Amino acid sequence: MKRNRLDDSSFVFTTYDLGLGAALLCRGFKLLLIDKSKPRTPLLSFKRERDIENVANSYVMGRLEVKAKSFFDHLETIKIKLRLI
């Protein structure tokens, strides 16, 4: 049976944190899927590449810097996609 790449943690990085999702988009990571099967906790899936883990850790530790306008725009885009999906 062929395994779905979106279920493969070596290919996909996931988060429930919308702020982290916006930050990753600011840093150029590709959003693959928004899973809304649990409406109160949407799961964002990103293509695992480069140093996504380090960027995510920097965000959590409060050390990641991104442009405020870009962050806001990406956060709004995620929220719009959540309503449309």
Q: How many domains does the chain have?
A: 1
pLDDT, residue 39, reads 73
Average pLDDT per consecutive 10 residues, the chain (85 residues; last block may be shorter): 59 95 97 89 94 97 97 96 80
Q: What are phi and psi of 27, to 5 degrees?
A: -90, 5
Q: Is the pTM value of this prediction over 0.95?
A: no
Domain hosting 30: range is 5-84
